[in-house]
Amino acid sequence: MKKIKSILTVSLMALIVLSCNKEDEAVPTNQESLKVTPEVLSKMKSLSLNTSDVQVIQNTTLEGTTEDAFLVEGDIVITKDQLDKMDLHGGITTEQYRTTNLVSAPRTIRVVGLTGTGSSALSTNMRNGLQAAINRYNNLGLSINFTLTFSSSTSGANIVVRRQNGSAGGVAGFPSGGNPYNSVTLYSGLDSYSTNVNAHVAAHEIGHCIGLRHTDWFSRQSCGQNSNEGTAGVGAIHIPGTPSGYDSTSYMLACFNSSVTGAFNANDVTALNYLY
Ligand SMILES: [Zn+2]
């Protein structure tokens, strides 16, 4: 997820990068880079992903290596392999929304917040925010719960949370094979925000890791956009007890502002309890 103001900057940067690529045909020959083809967009649309701003990014894996991956809805990482394997199996669940894949429950998810001296070590604010987010999930008494350790080793982790240079926000991905997505990146721009904002972004990205979609994926209204693409003809199933319209305080909105606290609203709690 991104701070609202950064969206324009990112779009401009994307434009600049795109125009640079047009000038520069020197594509590395040892690795076929990912492309946002019409086929890719069509598949994403069929999965009711918002395709208005799909980018290719360098994603850091659990082991710390990098790979090309798609970035969707501002903060969701999807590898080509994941995209190929994703299927709807009868429609996504809304509202709040989830992906087709969830984490197999009951289970304990081991989260490691990276520490140490490297650039991927979390700041104090990020660590405090992550701890607050984990506590909030565990306080719900869901069928999944989390352990959190801070370590310079990723050994045994199901989700590694690391820091990277960038504008305020974070990225994560969706579950696969019954496992949570294994990586959350928190960007250094969060340093100028409160622990509450850091807690919000940590909770939001973990929300993706366990299968939650953006509450406003259809409009990105929280980002000041209006890009409703409907449900792409695949339907959407309402989570009982949550609103069908725009939910202005959901922690799973696509964009955040500086006043967020990281707390779940009543609908978020209903959705989490429904899924887990
Ligand atoms: Zn998000």
**pLDDT tens, residue by residue, 184-218:** 999 999 999 999 999 999 999 999 999 888 888 77
Place of tokens 């869901």: 142
The C-alpha angle with vertex 60 and arms to 55 and 66, in degrees rounded to 5, equals 85
Give pLDDT tens digits for 63-107. Answer: 778 889 999 888 888 888 878 877 654 444 444 555 557 888 999
The DSSP string of 67-108 is: EEEEEETTTEEE-HHHHHH---SS-EEETTTB-S----SSEE
Side-by-side strand order, sheet with 55-60 = 55-60, 66-72, 76-78, 170-173, 183-187, 159-164, 107-114, 144-151
DSSP run (H or E) holding 65: none
Q: Give residue 231 CA to ligand 1 midpoint distance, Å.
A: 18
Q: Give residue 207 CA to ligand 1 midpoint distance, Å.
A: 8
Q: Give residue 218 CA to ligand 1 midpoint distance, Å.
A: 13
Q: What is the pLDDT of residue 82?
A: 78
Q: Give residue 28 CA to ligand 1 midpoint distance, Å.
A: 31
Q: Give residue 186 CA to ligand 1 midpoint distance, Å.
A: 12
Residue type at 13?
A: M
Residue type at 37?
A: T
Q: Give residue 37 CA to ligand 1 midpoint distance, Å.
A: 23
Q: Give residue 165 CA to ligand 1 midpoint distance, Å.
A: 18
Q: Give residue 256 CA to ligand 1 midpoint distance, Å.
A: 10
Maximum CA extent, the chain: 54
Q: What is the pLDDT of residue 19?
A: 35
Q: What is the pLDDT of residue 144?
A: 97
Tokens of 95: 């509202």
Q: Which parts of the chain sit beneath pLDDT 70?
A: 1-2, 4-32, 87-100, 227-238
Q: What is the pLDDT of residue 1?
A: 67
Q: What is the pLDDT of residue 133?
A: 98
Q: Give residue 270 CA to ligand 1 midpoint distance, Å.
A: 19
The C-alpha angle with vertex 23 and arms to 187 and 58, in degrees rounded to 5, equals 25
DSSP, collapsed to helix, strand or coil, labels residue 110 as: strand
Q: What is the pLDDT of residue 238?
A: 61
Q: Give residue 252 CA to ligand 1 midpoint distance, Å.
A: 6
CA distance 144 to 232: 31
Q: At what angle do helices 195-209 and 124-139 cross, to 10 degrees?
A: 60
pTM for this predicted structure? 0.82
Q: What is the pLDDT of residue 129?
A: 98
Residue type at 99?
A: T
